């Protein structure tokens, strides 16, 4: 057996020796130099690899090598110094743990699977999973899970419907020490001491973003920063996160109920759907906020969770019928605008960002959500503030409360789920969410070994979601 291994090792090195660095590059990267240190690192780690190719994730810094070992498709992330930081084996849906399938089925109903990979270590042991899915709105989302199948972070491709040939986002992971100082300073000022769970760098063309998940006091905090350290998105999950927190999800036209469509057909004949968001409390939709174009104007229209009309607001600039609206990403906004918004709003999310061009001028039109209020901003071509319109979200009056969960009150169905998926779990803390004496769900913090997990169940103790903390 030892002789066979030596033979395979020799053949592998012979194969590698026949390839130049250029030969190992895919055609689209023919003018991008792959450092010899990166090539040598993959050669040494995988001497039996065949069909080896390199591609650039971040120019002159991070590279991906795709190859095959026997019949298995593999990939590795390697830097310019030859350090391999991530290793993956391409698999399929059948190889995913049931907890992952259940999470996707519950939280992304109707989504289709794309690339599925197992993250492995040098000994071939599974360390986690990377799953790319496409939602009903055609938006692509990359989900990162640990070895138990618990979600660590999710990264949405917010560029909308991509034109043919447009490449997906490129993602790699870094350590806490590699974060830009502006992001580190923000997290320290906001949370003091915290535990860093995962940091992903998201590369699109020549720009970068940082998806950061941290944990403190039985709660995970999920941030998306641009290169300048501006917060583009933020959310929290866990026992000490607000039980009545508002969560938003994108809508497409097929998500609208017939009741909403019938109202729009009656009041805005010939309306055109632009985009929409649903806002939920404890997974119960409370508000639909829909942006439509009608009669060469745009309106933001709100409906309650039952599809009943609440109110409308005309948004954007006057004279929009003569304007050209170009959608852009928040990262493409001038720093004077992002700094202005950050100074006015501690936490907020971008709903849309646009450049509005008329015959004689150009303005920036930005809509954000902060503390259940939609702010519709207009800035001039230099990024100077012009005006803002506030649109308050109207939510039901009934307050969602929570009370501490005693371990003996954990539903048997929830215990059974934890026993199967988190063997050896130890209860840490929890609460029961309720409104008007009606149970809405359970949030439970557990410890497995040295790791903490926060699991969310519905009122019938059925699994909804879990996060590593």
How do the domains of the chain map onto residue ranges? 2-82, 90-238, 246-392, 401-468
Q: What pLDDT is stored for residue 163 in this prediction? A: 52
Which pLDDT score, from 0 to 100, does residue 399 have? Answer: 66
pLDDT at site 2: 36
**pLDDT computed for residue 137 by the predictor:** 66
Q: Span 90-238: which CATH code?
A: 3.10.450.360
> Would you state the pLDDT for residue 200?
94
CA atoms of 451 and 150, how far apart (whole Å):
11
pTM for this entry: 0.74
401-468 is classed CATH 3.30.420.40: no
What number does CATH give the domain 246-392? 3.10.450
Q: What is the pLDDT of residue 320?
A: 47
Residue carrying structure tokens 């039952």: 306
**What pLDDT is recorded for position 59?**
87
CB 371 within 8 A of CB 353: no
What pLDDT was estimated at residue 178? 93
Write down the pLDDT at residue 390. 83
E-strand stretches of 348-450:
349-357, 362-370, 373-379, 385-392, 401-404, 426-435, 438-448
pLDDT value at residue 67: 92
Are 246-392 and 401-468 equal in CATH topology? Answer: yes
Q: Taking the CA atoms of 160, 162, 166 and 172 in sequence, report the sign of the dihedral they define.
A: positive
pLDDT score at 319 = 46
pLDDT of residue 6: 34
Q: Averaged in consecutive runs of 10 residues, what is the pLDDT profile of the chain (469 residues)? A: 35 36 44 83 90 90 92 92 94 89 87 91 90 81 92 80 64 93 92 93 85 92 86 82 69 87 93 84 77 83 88 64 72 86 82 81 86 85 89 67 90 95 94 84 93 92 90
């Amino acid at each position: 057996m030892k002789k066979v291994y030596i033979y395979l090792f020799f053949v592998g090195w012979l194969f590698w020796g026949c390839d130049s660095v250029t030969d190992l590059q895919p055609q689209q990267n023919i003018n991008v130099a792959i450092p010899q240190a990166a090539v040598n690192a993959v050669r040494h780690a995988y001497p039996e690899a065949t069909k080896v190719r390199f591609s650039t994730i971040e120019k002159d810094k991070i590279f991906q090598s795709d190859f095959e070992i026997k019949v298995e498709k593999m990939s590795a992330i390697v830097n310019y110094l030859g350090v391999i930081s991530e290793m993956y084996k391409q698999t399929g849906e059948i190889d995913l743990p049931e907890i992952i399938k259940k999470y996707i089925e519950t939280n992304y109903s109707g989504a289709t699977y794309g690339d599925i990979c197992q993250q492995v270590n040098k000994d071939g042991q599974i360390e986690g999973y990377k799953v790319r899915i496409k939602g009903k709105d055609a938006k692509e989302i990359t989900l990162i899970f640990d070895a138990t199948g618990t979600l660590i972070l999710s990264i949405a491709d917010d560029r909308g419907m991509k034109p043919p040939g447009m490449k997906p986002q490129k993602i790699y992971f870094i350590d806490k020490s590699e974060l830009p100082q502006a992001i580190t300073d923000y997290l320290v000022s906001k949370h003091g001491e915290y535990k860093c769970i995962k940091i992903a760098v998201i590369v699109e063309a020549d720009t970068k973003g940082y998806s950061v998940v941290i944990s403190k006091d039985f709660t995970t905090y999920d941030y998306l920063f641009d290169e300048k350290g501006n917060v583009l998105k933020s959310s929290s999950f866990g026992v000490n996160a607000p039980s009545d927190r508002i969560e938003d999800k994108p809508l497409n036209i097929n998500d609208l109920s017939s009741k909403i469509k019938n109202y729009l057909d009656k009041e805005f004949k010939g309306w055109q759907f632009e985009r929409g968001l649903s806002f939920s409390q404890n997974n119960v939709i409370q508000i639909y906020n829909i942006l439509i174009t009608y009669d060469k104007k745009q309106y933001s229209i709100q409906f309650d969770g039952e599809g009943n009309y609440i109110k409308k607001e005309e948004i954007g600039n006057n004279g929009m019928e003569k304007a050209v609206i170009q959608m852009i990403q928040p990262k493409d906004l001038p720093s004077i605008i992002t700094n202005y918004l950050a100074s006015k709003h501690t936490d907020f999310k971008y709903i849309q960002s646009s450049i509005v061009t008329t015959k004689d001028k150009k303005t920036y039109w930005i809509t954000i959500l902060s503390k259940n209020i939609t702010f519709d901003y207009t800035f001039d071509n230099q990024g100077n503030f012009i005006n803002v319109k506030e649109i308050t979200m109207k939510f039901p009056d009934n307050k969602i409360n929570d009370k501490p969960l005693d371990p003996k009150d954990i539903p048997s169905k929830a215990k059974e789920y934890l026993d199967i998926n988190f063997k050896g779990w130890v209860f840490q803390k929890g609460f029961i969410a309720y409104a008007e004496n009606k149970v809405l769900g359970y949030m439970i913090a557990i410890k497995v070994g040295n790791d903490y997990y926060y699991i969310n169940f519905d009122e019938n103790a059925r699994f909804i979601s879990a996060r590593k903390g």
